[in-house]
Amino acid sequence: MRAANFVFSGLLCAGIYGFATSAGAVESFYKGATVSINVGSDAGGGFDLVARIVARHLGQHIPGKPAIIVRNMPGAGGLVNANYLFNTAPRDGTALAAPFNTVFLLPLLGDPAAKFDPRDLTWIGSTDKQQGICLTWHQTALKTFDDIKSREVVAGTTAPNATPATYPFFLNTVLGTKFKIVGGYSTGGVRVALEQGEVDSICGMAIQTHMAVSPQWFERKLVNVLLQFGLEKHKDLPDVPLAVDLLKGEDLEVLELIMIPHEFGRPFVAPPGIPTDRRDALRAAFDATLKDPAFLDDSQRARQSLDPLTGAQIEALIHRAYKASPSAVQRAARILRGPESVDQKR
């Protein structure tokens, strides 16, 4: 018995020593280092704003407390950033990205410009989910989802392949809605068009975006929310139907595939192959940052909602997408290209 206890104690001490050595090595590596967060858009957008809030606090939770800088790397709808992360960025734990979520299914969907495999990336976590909604202005007669199935509904969008075009296009295809998609708006311009009655609906844009940019719409009940896109209902929309509950079979599989990037919302990710101890330290630091009172205060002031996901949860969503049937993948790719053409605003 004494021999067994001696062996166990020895193993325990070795484990503790190994952990301490690893933690010390991480701290030593990051002390005096600089970690960059490369954002896949220009300065001033939603992903850029979230990245800068995270950057102000993340370094305090990484062993060694490295400096954190944010660099903007726009181009090709976020692909420049994603391709850089996978193929060029250092794989030592000093490079992170805050990319557009939509780029990560492009390899699966056959986009030749996507030179990466999201299954090999090092997922750190996400600050929030993004759940698309269909909404109308409060003065319209279109109050429920059944209403928009019975008559033509003008939906505003920026471009044929933008989310506010692809979701109405999908609904027209599988549920018999009668959206007339009108493009040519800026992101802000489509909001003005809704308020002025120039369009009936904005369908597919995330409720998190609406609430950050136009919180008065919800505070003063100026919009009707008719349908929501997510794997689960948004906490503030318990009575609004989920699109997934209206579908079955391959139609449901296609919608889930389209929605998965929005489920992991605003992700933070590192290149493949970074040392495991640094990956674990970055994940732990990210999780701690999202509980930091100073971070929470900054997020509240910037009207940013929080519904965090861990890196492991994002990995699971990516692998779920890659299990979709070839037919569903083909249909999803077609939907995400958007309608062949849209009417242009006058």
Same domain, 149 and 289: no
Question: Is residue 106 included in any domain, yes or no?
Answer: yes
| Mean pLDDT computed over 142-170 | 90
Same domain, 199 and 287: no
pLDDT per position as a tens digit, 116-154: 999 999 999 999 988 999 999 999 999 999 998 888 999
Looking up tokens 């992360």, which residue turns up? 85
Same domain, 209 and 302: no
Same domain, 76 and 142: no
> How many domains does the chain divide into?
2
pTM exceeds 0.85, yes or no: no
| Mean pLDDT computed over 257-271 | 93
Give the model's pLDDT for residue 212. 83
Same domain, 250 and 288: no
Give the model's pLDDT for residue 94. 98
pLDDT per position as a tens digit, 272-326: 999 999 999 999 999 999 999 999 999 999 888 899 999 999 999 999 999 999 9
Same domain, 176 and 295: no
Same domain, 242 and 195: yes
Structure tokens at 223: 């919009």
pLDDT per position as a tens digit, 190-236: 999 999 999 999 999 999 889 888 999 999 999 999 999 998 899 89
Same domain, 197 and 338: yes
If we measure between CA atoms, which residue out of 270, 230, 249 comes closest to residue 325? 249
Same domain, 48 and 174: no
SS (H, E, C) the chain: CHHHHHHHHHHHHHHHHHHHHHHHHHHHHHCCCEEEEEECCCCCCHHHHHHHHHHHHHHHHCCCCCEEEEEECCCHHHHHHHHHHHHCCCCCCCEEEECCHHHHHCCCCCCCCCCCCHHHCEEEEECCCCCEEEEEECCCCCCCCCHHHCCCEEEECCCCCCHHHHHHHHHHHHHCCCEEEEECCCHHHHHHHHHCCCCCEEEEEEHHHHHHHCHHHHHCCCEEEEEEECCCCCCCCCCCCEHHHHCCHHHHHHHHHHHHHHHCCCEEEECCCCCHHHHHHHHHHHHHHCCCHHHHHHHHHCCCCCCCEEHHHHHHHHHHHCCCCHHHHHHHHHHHHCCCCCEECC
Top pLDDT among 252 and 9 is at 252
Question: Domain range for residue 282?
Answer: 30-128+266-307
Question: Is residue 204 included in any domain, yes or no?
Answer: yes
Question: Is residue 245 included in any domain, yes or no?
Answer: yes
Give the model's pLDDT for residue 22. 67
Same domain, 48 and 72: yes
